């Protein structure tokens, strides 16, 4: 499917709003013709017929009514256009968020976050003018000129023919210059995506950049990228201004020709003043409709370029469950049993698991140990549905994991990674991420169980204290306890722990381990660790080596 066809398809659910916009636009044009006719009648009567002002009071009142009608119709048209464009953008952004979630964090880690953010925000926003301006104007520019010509031809066929012949040059201008504008818009979006990705990468790694003395080099690189973007933007604007100049020139020459021919025939006595006056007033509106289409044609070019990036992101591979029947949603919120049966998985560079088989009983607490890169974390990723096995199956309480609805399954499990993510906000808001509908009291109780109280009560605003992105403002041990509090709030049946105490001092490690011990009661727990000693309080130890998994106890 071409990008233009894709854009039209996206607007189909909102075709009622689009049709209303077009109908109101055409109605505004008809009211304009009526307004012009009233002005001509009043002017002709006053100037040539020397009629008294009283008979024209009714015409003036009707004229004011028509003007008020045009204002109301224009307002309604803009409202309908806004509803159409905002509906498309909202639906598309929702699909993008769902799609990014389905792609999974493993696949997303290979993409540049800045480019993704730019596509999801600015790329979708660039479609606004396509649906709110270009599509309605294209239809109005098709209907309204014919409506005007239907009125002009009976009055003066020569002026009507002149309007038709000169208007042919306007779409030709759009086709010739439009293609060049499209190519430049393509380059513009590529530059913007690259600049966004580079800038975000530098911001996220600013401390590393400064530590290695690369700040000046990165600043120069961003400056070069910004200059490329500026130059490309100006090249697009040059084409747009050139196109507008040609449109204005064609319109001005055409209106001048109509005026000259009408004036000559007025002098010769072969044409009446009223029709000449009407045609001269309505001709600019005839070309204005076509000029507006030419202006909005550049919005179409920008939308097509942006849509190509959006469709590229939507085309990114997702984790699919093809050939697996989806079972009824709703995994019981109780400790599940887990069975890996002949599971294999390979990353692009190497194989990790090869026909690995093991089982974990419901409510059992298991440690998974092994060398770095042996595949310990891969087991957790398989359970989290971040990746899919290339061979074999994973079953939960006897049901194939791939047959379970992803969202429902993820609600029943909790994961504590080695480096959890905190977002800019209060401690309470970060804890509530475990269950968004939780009350403040529930979130604070989860914080108490995770020993967040131990440091929160010393902060100026307690749980209302703001923390920066990635936990700026609190220590690594405190960050880990906030993340642990999310797990208490979630109240899962399955707990996945990936080196939760790595890089912590002994005091913080003891608090986190005590919190995990409380959390583990009555739940199935899988703890990934490098240290065999960390598995002392657990029921069993599984060792991952040579692609397989064996029980040590």
Render pLDDT for 293-348 as a digit per residue (tens, 0 to 9). Answer: 877 877 787 788 788 878 887 877 555 444 444 443 344 457 889 999 999 988 87
Please return the burial class of 190, using the count of CB atoms within 10 Å of its CB with bins 0-12, 13-18 and 19+. middle
Instruction: For residues 90 and 82, give the distance between their C-alpha atoms in angstroms, rounded to a whole number.
Output: 12
**Hey, what are 426's tokens?**
């209060």
Tell me what pLDDT residue 1 has: 66
Q: What's the confidence (pLDDT) of residue 330?
A: 41
Question: What is the per-residue pLDDT for 53?
Answer: 55
CA–CA distance, 406 with 393 (Å, rounded to integer): 16
The proportion of the chain whose per-residue pLDDT surpasses 90, expressed as a percent, equals 11
Q: Containing H/E element for 192?
A: helix 169-204
Cα 144 from Cα 29, distance rounded (Å): 6
In angstroms, the Cα distances linking 168 to 164, 171, 449 are 7, 6, 76
| 248-277 exposure pattern, b = at least 16 Cβ within 10 A, e = fewer | eebbeebbebbeebbeebeeeeebeebbbb
Least confident residue range of 39-43, 292-296, 411-415, 516-520: 292-296
Q: What is the pLDDT of residues 484-529, one digit of tens each?
A: 999 998 888 899 998 888 778 888 888 888 888 888 888 899 998 8
Rounded mean pLDDT of the chain? 82
| Residue matched to tokens 């939960």 | 396
CB count in 10 Å sphere of residue 328: 10
Share of the chain above pLDDT 70, in %: 89
Give tens-digit pLDDT for 182-223: 677 777 777 777 777 777 777 767 767 777 777 788 888 888
Confidence at residue 55, expressed as pLDDT on a 0 to 100 scale: 67
76 against 303, higher pLDDT:
76
Amino acid 324: pLDDT = 43
Higher pLDDT, 470 or 360: 360
The pLDDT score that the predictor gives to residue 452 is 87
Q: Report which listed range, 42-46, 106-110, 179-183, 418-422, is most confident.
A: 418-422
What's the pLDDT tens digit per position in 196-207? Answer: 777 777 776 776
Per-residue pLDDT, averaged over 137-156, amounts to 88
Residue 52 has pLDDT above 70, yes or no: no
Q: What are the structural domains, with CATH classification, of the chain?
A: 3-314 (1.20.1560.10), 338-551 (3.40.50.300)
- 526-535 burial, b at 16+ Cβ within 10 Å, e below that, comes to bbbbeeeebb
The predicted model scores a pTM of: 0.68
pLDDT attached to residue 129: 87
Asked if residue 23 has pLDDT above 90, the reply is yes
pLDDT greater at residue 362 or residue 308? 362
CB 447 within 8 A of CB 463: yes
Model pLDDT, residue 243 = 75
Q: Which of 60-74, 184-198, 261-275, 480-494 has the lowest mean pLDDT?
A: 184-198
Maximum mean pLDDT: which of 39-43, 220-224, 245-249, 353-357: 353-357
Instruction: Note the pLDDT of residue 34.
Output: 92
Residue 406's pLDDT band (boundaries 50, 70, 90)?
A: confident
Q: Would you say residue 86 has pLDDT above 60? A: yes
420-441 residue pLDDT tens: 888 888 888 888 888 888 888 8
Mean of pLDDT values over 439-445: 89
């Amino acid at each position: 499917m071409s990008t233009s066809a894709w854009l039209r398809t996206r607007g189909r659910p909102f075709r009622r709003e689009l049709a209303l916009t077009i109908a109101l636009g055409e109605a505004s044009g008809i009211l304009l013709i009526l307004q012009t006719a009233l002005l001509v009648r009043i002017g002709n009567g006053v100037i040539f017929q020397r009629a008294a002002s009283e008979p024209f009071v009714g015409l003036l009142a009707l004229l004011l009514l028509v003007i008020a009608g045009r204002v109301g119709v224009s307002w309604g048209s803009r409202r309908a256009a806004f509803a159409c464009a905002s509906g498309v953008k909202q639906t598309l952004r929702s699909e993008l968020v769902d799609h990014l979630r389905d792609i999974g964090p493993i696949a997303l880690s290979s993409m540049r976050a800045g480019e993704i953010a730019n596509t999801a925000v600015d790329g979708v926003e660039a479609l606004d003018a396509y649906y709110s301006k270009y599509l309605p104007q294209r239809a109005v520019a098709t209907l309204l000129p014919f409506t005007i010509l239907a009125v002009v031809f009976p009055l003066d066929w020569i002026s009507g023919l002149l309007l038709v012949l000169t208007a042919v040059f306007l779409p030709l201008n759009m086709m010739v210059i439009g293609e060049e504008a499209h190519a430049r818009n393509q380059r513009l979006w590529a530059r913007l995506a690259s600049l966004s990705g580079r800038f975000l990468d530098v911001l996220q790694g600013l401390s590393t950049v400064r530590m290695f003395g690369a700040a000046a080099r990165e600043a120069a690189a961003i400056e070069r990228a910004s200059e490329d973007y500026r130059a490309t933007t100006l090249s697009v604007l040059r084409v747009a201004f050139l196109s507008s100049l040609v449109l204005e020139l064609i319109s001005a020459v055409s209106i001048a020709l109509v005026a000259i021919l009408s004036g000559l025939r007025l002098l010769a006595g072969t044409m009446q003043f009223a029709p000449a006056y009407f045609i001269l007033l309505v001709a600019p509106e005839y070309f204005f409709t076509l000029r507006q289409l030419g202006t909005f044609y550049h919005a179409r070019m920008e939308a097509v370029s942006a849509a190509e990036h959006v469709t590229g992101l939507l085309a990114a591979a997702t984790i699919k469950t093809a050939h697996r029947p989806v079972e009824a949603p709703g995994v019981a919120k109780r400790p599940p049993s887990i069975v890996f049966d002949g599971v294999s998985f390979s990353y692009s560079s190497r194989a990790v698991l090869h026909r690995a088989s093991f089982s974990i009983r419901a409510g059992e607490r298991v440690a998974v140990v092994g060398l770095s890169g042996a595949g310990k974390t891969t087991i957790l990723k398989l359970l989290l549905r971040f990746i899919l096995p290339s061979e074999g199956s994973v079953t939960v309480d006897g049901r194939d994991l791939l047959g379970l609805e992803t969202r429902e399954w993820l609600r029943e499990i909790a994961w504590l990674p080695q480096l959890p993510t905190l977002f800019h906000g209060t401690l309470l808001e970060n804890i509530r991420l475990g269950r968004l509908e939780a009350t403040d009291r529930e979130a604070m109780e989860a914080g108490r169980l995770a020993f967040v109280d131990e440091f929160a009560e010393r902060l100026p605003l307690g749980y209302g204290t703001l923390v920066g992105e990635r936990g700026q403002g609190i220590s690594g041990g405190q960050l880990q306890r906030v993340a642990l509090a999310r797990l208490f709030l979630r109240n899962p049946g399955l707990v996945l722990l990936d080196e939760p105490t790595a890089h912590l001092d002994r005091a913080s490690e003891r608090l986190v381990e005590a919190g995990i011990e409380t959390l583990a009661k009555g739940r199935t727990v899988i703890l990934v660790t490098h240290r065999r000693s960390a598995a002392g309080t657990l029921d069993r130890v599984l060792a991952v080596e040579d692609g397989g998994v064996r029980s040590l106890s």
